[in-house]
Amino acid sequence: MAISISETLRQPFEVASPGITIGASIGVALFRGGESVEQLLGNCDIALHKAKASGRDALRFFDPEMQAALDQRSSLEQDLRIAVRNKNLALHYQAQTDNSGTIIGAEVLLRWNHPERGLVSPLVFIPIAEETGLIEELGYWVIEKACDQIHLWSTRENASSLRISVNVSAHQFQLDDFALSVERILAKTGARPDRLMLELTESVILADLENAMQKMRALKQLGVGFSMDDFGTGYSSLAYLSRLPLDELKIDRSFVARLPGSDNDAVIARMVISMGRSLGLSVLAEGVETPEQMEALRQYGCHAYQGFLIGRPSPVEEFVLLLPSQ
């Protein structure tokens, strides 16, 4: 909240002459319960003084733990900026198989090997990339790398039919020129559009359904496929599902984890599979870790699988070892 106040205040405004900009020093104290109003305001004041002392236009917490979290987050943000600029991130490939055990494609997953922190999870840095707008550059970089790979594989007998799934974040998908940008990347890399699968989540699509459908249709016309990621964790409503030009539903791994033991999860997995089948979609189960899980899913009618049982996300050189030799 403090960051958003400070960003709002930073917008230039006009008084007598145009373009006046102000900033704010913000001190934050958390109410833990038990403090008096005077104490709380006093703590805020101490934090505010720290903010001013650090060069103004800054944000400081009274609480050392919160301050540490804030510092860590801003240093991560700085480092991510540098990593994105220098393309210091890697893509790992995770295999997807059909019921015959044949590899049909791979999902690309971003990895950030931080010089000091080691591997940072995308669950940590994707939200930062989204908030800072870095996701735009990063997201297109991922799509381009995937398309380069598709093109490279197009002449290899054992890989030319593989599709690559790419996760698309909300912020990126909402860009007005998203469809056009993807079209440009396809043209530039020479990748076959029908080998590219874009993974969207329900929240991405539902944020602006009409707009999303328009973009999906435009890309669909080129041959690009669409997969609904983490299905079952959101609204999972038939009403919109039937209207979208989707190709695949991915059952979230939270429903796969307790199979075949959990009756509740079995009901959900079955429902998602029959929903997908009746809409003419392929259904892929995520997070398959045991043969028992795969067997249960197969019996429910699932089409495709992804998970540690088949292979962990790994550099492309390792992924290709899973393919039949040429």
Residues of this chain that interact with Mg ion (CB under 5 A) are 167, 199, 229-230, 286
Does residue 96 touch ligand C2E according to CB under 6 A? Answer: no
Does residue 136 touch ligand C2E according to CB under 6 A? Answer: no
Choice between 43 and 169, CB closer to ligand C2E: 169
Choice between 44 and 128, CB closer to ligand C2E: 128
Residue 101: CB minimum distance to ligand C2E, A: 16
Region at 33 (left for phi over 0; alpha for psi -120 to 50; beta for the rest): left
H/E/C letters for each residue in 182-234?
A: HHHHHHHHCCCHHHEEEEECHHHHHCCHHHHHHHHHHHHHHCCEEEEEEECCC
Axis-axis angle for helices 291-300, 263-278 (nearest 10): 50
Q: How many CA atoms lie within 13 A of 35 on its CB side?
A: 12
> Considering only residues 24, 63, 122, 234, which one is a binding residue for ligand C2E as defined by CB under 6 A?
122
Does residue 149 touch ligand C2E according to CB under 6 A? Answer: no
> Considering only residues 15, 16, 37, 123, which one is a binding residue for ligand C2E as defined by CB under 6 A?
123
> Considering only residues 169, 189, 227, 314, which one is a binding residue for ligand C2E as defined by CB under 6 A?
169
Helix (H) / strand (E) containing 287 = none
What separation, in Å, do the N-terminal and C-terminal C-alpha atoms of the chain show?
Answer: 56
Does residue 232 touch ligand C2E according to CB under 6 A? Answer: no
Q: Which stretch binds ligand C2E (CB under 6 A): 75-83, 112-120, 148-156, 286-294?
A: 286-294
Neighbouring C-beta atoms of residue 285, cutoff 10 Å? 29
Does residue 276 touch ligand C2E according to CB under 6 A? Answer: no
Q: Which does 126 bind (CB under 5 to 8 A by kind): Mg ion, ligand C2E, none?
A: ligand C2E
Does residue 105 touch ligand C2E according to CB under 6 A? Answer: no
Q: In whole angstroms, what is the distance from residue 292 CA to residue 300 CA?
A: 12
Residue with tokens 């943000």: 77
Ranges of H-type helices in 86-208: 122-132, 134-153, 170-173, 178-189, 202-206
Does residue 203 touch ligand C2E according to CB under 6 A? Answer: no
Does residue 205 touch ligand C2E according to CB under 6 A? Answer: no
Does residue 97 touch ligand C2E according to CB under 6 A? Answer: no
Does residue 322 touch ligand C2E according to CB under 6 A? Answer: no
Choice between 193 and 307, CB closer to Mg ion: 307
Does residue 167 touch ligand C2E according to CB under 6 A? Answer: yes
Choice between 43 and 172, CB closer to ligand C2E: 172
> Considering only residues 307, 314, 319, 320, which one is a binding residue for ligand C2E as defined by CB under 6 A?
307
CA 165, 167, 168: angle at the middle one, nearest 5?
130
Let me know: does 248 contact 227? Beta carbons within 8 Å.
yes
Per CB under 6 A, residues contacting ligand C2E are 94, 109-110, 121-123, 126, 139, 142, 167-169, 199, 229-230, 253, 286-289, 307-308, 313
